[in-house]
Structure 1
Amino acid sequence: MGGSALLVRDLSVGYGPVRALRHVSLEVPEQAVVTVLGANGAGKSTLLRAISRTLSFHGGAVTGGTIGLGGRPLDRLPPDRVVAAGVCQVPEGRRVFARMTVADNLRAGALGAPGGREARARALRRVHDLFPVLAERAQQRAGLLSGGEQQMLAVGRALMAAPKVLLLDEPSLGLAPLVADRIAATVREINEQGTSVLLVEQNAALALRLASHAYVLEVGEVTLSGPADELAASDEVRRRYLGVVDEDAAADASQARTTHPTLTRWEA
Structure 2
Amino acid sequence: MGGSALLVRDLSAGYGPVRALRHVSLEVPEGTVVTVLGGNGAGKSTLLRAVCRTLSFHGGAVTGGTVTLGGRPLDRLPPDRVVAAGVSQVPEGRRVFSRMTVADNLRAGALGGAGGRVGRARALRRVHELFPVLADRAGQRAGLLSGGEQQMLAVGRALMGAPEVLLLDEPSLGLAPLMAARIADTVREINEQGTSVLLVEQNAALALRLASRAYVLEVGEVTLSGPADELAASDEVRRRYLGVVDEDAASDGAATPDGLPSLSRWKG
Same-fold call, TM cutoff 0.5: yes
Structure 1 residues 73 and 246: alpha-carbon distance in aligned structure 2, compared to 1, 3 A threshold? same
Match of 1:78 in 2: 78
- Contact kept? 2:12, 2:21, Cα under 8 Å: yes
Q: Please give the alpha-carbon distance, in whole angstroms, between the structure 1 residues aligned to 2:25 and 2:250.
A: 36
Q: Please give the alpha-carbon distance, in whole angstroms, between the structure 1 residues aligned to 2:188 and 2:51.
A: 22
- Contact kept? 2:34, 2:198, Cα under 8 Å: yes
Tell me the SS of whatever aligns to 2:97: coil
Match of 2:38 in 1: 38
Match of 1:258 in 2: none
Q: Does 1:245 align with 2:262?
A: no
* One-letter code aligned to 1:141: R
**Gap runs ≥5 in structure 1:** 254-268
Structure-1-length-normalised TM-score: 0.92
**C-alpha displacement of 1:247:** 2.9
Q: Deviations over 1:124-169 (max 9, x none)?
A: 0000000000000000000000000000000000000000000000
Structure 1 residues 205 and 252: alpha-carbon distance in aligned structure 2, compared to 1, 3 A threshold? closer
Matches within 5 A, 1:50-65: 50-65=50-65
Match of 1:259 in 2: none
Tell me the SS of whatever aligns to 2:12: strand
Q: Percent identity?
A: 90
Match of 1:101 in 2: 101
**C-alpha displacement of 1:73:** 0.3
- Contact kept? 2:239, 2:249, Cα under 8 Å: no
Match of 2:90 in 1: 90
Q: Please give the alpha-carbon distance, in whole angstroms, between the structure 1 residues aligned to 2:228 and 2:112.
A: 34
Structure 1 residues 249 and 207: alpha-carbon distance in aligned structure 2, compared to 1, 3 A threshold? closer
**C-alpha displacement of 1:251:** 9.3
Match of 1:205 in 2: 205
Q: Please give the alpha-carbon distance, in whole angstroms, between the structure 2 residues aligned to 1:26 and 1:14.
A: 18
Structure-2-length-normalised TM-score: 0.92
Structure 1 residues 140 and 19: alpha-carbon distance in aligned structure 2, compared to 1, 3 A threshold? same
Match of 2:22 in 1: 22
**C-alpha displacement of 1:116:** 1.2
Q: Please give the alpha-carbon distance, in whole angstroms, between the structure 1 residues aligned to 2:203 and 2:148.
A: 16
Q: Please give the alpha-carbon distance, in whole angstroms, between the structure 2 residues aligned to 1:3 and 1:202.
A: 28
Length, aligned pairs only: 253
**C-alpha displacement of 1:118:** 1.0
**Gap runs ≥5 in structure 2:** 254-268
Match of 1:122 in 2: 122
**C-alpha displacement of 1:249:** 5.9
**C-alpha displacement of 1:246:** 1.8
Q: Please give the alpha-carbon distance, in whole angstroms, between the structure 2 residues aligned to 1:78 and 1:99.
A: 26
